[in-house]
Structures are given as structure tokens and as C-alpha cells.
Amino acid sequence: MDLRRTMLFMPGNNPGMLQNGGVFGADALILDLEDAVAPQEKDAARLLVAQALRTVDYSTSEKVVRINPLDTFAREDIEAIVPCCPDALLVPKVECPENIGEVARLVAATERSGQEPVKLIALLETPRGIAEAYQIARADKRVVALAFGAEDYTASLGAKRTKEGTEIYSARAIVVNSAAAAGIQSIDTPFTDVNDREGLIADTQLAKQLGFKGKLTINPRQIEDIHNVFNPTQHDIVWAERIIKAIRKAEAEGSGVASLDGKMVDAPIVARAERILYLARLLGLVEEGLL
């Protein structure tokens, strides 16, 4: 599983940000050719992003490029960017599975032989995209995640954005459920007030509670807080270890159900504990081979 707790946007027309992106420890970096770049700067940004992919060391961060929508500059973006070996493309304003099919076809036609296949992440930010989320998630084997964009979504709805996010609750739930049904990740919308730490933490906790596996990120100062929310706590890890021990003991005694602190422990609880320990091992929070 690829970690995508944070996916940091870097405007594709900002050489300083593109140069420094690797030092912040984001799980993924999104070199943006879409909304962060004005129409008259698209050509220059495409060249800059291609150059950055070839020359900048982004350390362990996944390299993702947000291309433009199919009805604008997607073809030019794919032709210029795919040969520079990004790990994935973030495809904005995806409305139907055919959009993904078309991008996948263009990517396949551009990839060089022997090149690692470029993954796709579908950004759902329109009412129709939300309505077709599951079909989009299953549209092509390259699709590894659904991401949610609340600003464009609420603009299309004509709904007012609030800090509490009641207006995006149902769309968030659909994105999470559709991604899980298709066996891929879901990534939440960015929190746009970079000076409101408390708000960011609360919004990320809500996203995690709903089932999201990460959050789009717009500023390096947001990374640590988002990681802290998505990382398993020491309390989670201790709980998960106790669950695994309890179920192993029950199994040794011929039972599939255990009891811990008076609560039933069965398969879904064990699966949750295993996920916590898997993530903890991936993050180096517990020793390899423990349990």
C-alpha cells in the first residue's frame, strides 16, 4: 500500500516551490498544471514541471502531476509529462468512467516501453463526478485513489462552504464508500485556511473518522498536523496488539471469537487491529516482526 496521508500541491509555475517540495516530508507531491496556473502560463508551467520531474530530487515523496481537464489541455500535458516518469497523474473534474478511459488510453499511447506504468488518481469535484464515483473508481486498473475537491463541488452546487462542512458530508461519504468498494484509497479535500491549525486538525479528524486515507494539502505547515491525525497513536497500537494476542489465544483454544475487557473480538475487529499494525510497521512505529 502506498502512503498518501498528505499530498502537497505545488503550483507548476512557481520554480521556488517546485525546487523545495522534496524537503517537507509529504507522502506525495502534486506538481499542478491546472487551477494554480493561469491560462496564459500553461505552456511555460508544463515545461517547468517536466524539467522539475527530470532534475529535482523529491526524495521518497510520490511524484504526481495534476493535468488539465480533457476539454482543455490534457492531451498536451500527457504528451509532455508522461515521458518524464511521474508516479501518477491527478485527473481533475472527472465526471464519468469514460473520462478515465480516455486519459488511460492517452497515457498508454505515450508511455515508453519498459516505463513503470503511470497511475491515475481521479479528482471528483462536480455533482456528476460524485454520482458516478464507483464507476469511475473501477474504470481502469491504473486508478489507485479517488480524491475529493470541495471548492469546485460546492461552487457547482451553489452551496456555501462552511467550516463545519455539513454541505459536503454526503459527497465525502460517497467518495469514501465508492473507493472502498473498488478496493482503492480515498483522499479528502484540502483545508484552505493555512493559519487555522485547530480547524485543520478537526477537519482531518473528521475525514479520518469517515474513512479517508489522506488529505490534499496546500501548505507545508499543514503536513505534520495531518500526519499526526492519520498516524496510529501509541494507544491504538497497544490496543491492536492486545486484540491480536487475544484472538490468537482464542484460536489456539479452538474458538474464532475472543473477549477483551468484556468486549467481543471477532473478524472485523481483528481486521481493524491488523490495519493499525500494518500502518504502524510501515511508519516504523513498531518493530518489524513484532506479533
Binding-site ranges for ligand Q5B (CB under 6 A): 8-11, 16-17, 20-21, 32, 35-36, 125, 149-152, 189-190, 194, 218-221
Q: Which residue type sits at 266? A: D
CB of 262 to Mg ion, least distance (A): 48
CB of 6 to ligand Q5B, least distance (A): 11
Q: Which does 230 bind (CB under 5 to 8 A by kind): Mg ion, ligand Q5B, none?
A: none
Q: Which does 95 bind (CB under 5 to 8 A by kind): ligand Q5B, Mg ion, none?
A: none
CB of 10 to ligand Q5B, least distance (A): 4
Q: Which does 20 bind (CB under 5 to 8 A by kind): Mg ion, ligand Q5B, none?
A: ligand Q5B
Q: Which does 8 bind (CB under 5 to 8 A by kind): Mg ion, ligand Q5B, none?
A: ligand Q5B
CB 26 within 8 A of CB 19: no
CB of 18 to ligand Q5B, least distance (A): 8
- Which residue blocks in the chain are alpha helix, DSSP H? 15-20, 42-55, 74-81, 97-110, 127-131, 133-137, 150-157, 169-182, 197-210, 223-230, 234-252, 267-282
Q: Is 149 in the site for Mg ion (CB under 5 A)?
A: yes
Q: What's the gap between Cα 244 and its chain centre?
A: 28
Which residue minimizes CB distance to Mg ion? 152
Q: CB count, 10 Å around CB of 114? A: 5
Which residue minimizes CB distance to ligand Q5B? 149
Closer by beta carbon to Mg ion, 12 or else 149: 149
Closer by beta carbon to ligand Q5B, 21 or else 232: 21
Choose one: 117-125, 186-194, 218-226, 277-285; the region binding Mg ion (CB under 5 A): 117-125
Exposed/middle/buried for 163, CB within 10 Å: 0-12, 13-18, 19+?
A: exposed
CA-CA-CA-CA torsion for 209, 215, 218, 219, nearest 10 degrees?
Answer: 70
CB of 217 to ligand Q5B, least distance (A): 8
Q: Which does 86 bind (CB under 5 to 8 A by kind): ligand Q5B, Mg ion, none?
A: none
Cβ neighbours for 125, distance < 8 A, ≥ 6 positions apart: 92, 93, 148, 149, 150, 151, 152, 153, 156
Q: Which residue type sits at 230? A: F
Closer by beta carbon to ligand Q5B, 76 or else 151: 151
CB of 136 to ligand Q5B, least distance (A): 16
User: DSSP readout, 40-79?
Assistant: GGHHHHHHHHHHHHHH---TTSEEEEE---TTTTHHHHHH
Q: Is 102 in the site for Mg ion (CB under 5 A)?
A: no
Q: Is 152 in the site for Mg ion (CB under 5 A)?
A: yes
Closer by beta carbon to Mg ion, 87 or else 125: 125
Site size with Mg ion, rule: CB under 5 A: 3
> How far apart (Å, rounded) are the C-alpha atoms in residues 69 and 37?
13
Q: Is 214 in the site for Mg ion (CB under 5 A)?
A: no
CB 176 within 8 A of CB 212: yes
> How far apart (Å, rounded) are the C-alpha atoms in residues 163 and 44?
35
Closer by beta carbon to Mg ion, 98 or else 152: 152
> How far apart (Å, rounded) are the C-alpha atoms in residues 286 and 236?
12
Interface residues with Mg ion (CB under 5 A) are 125, 149, 152
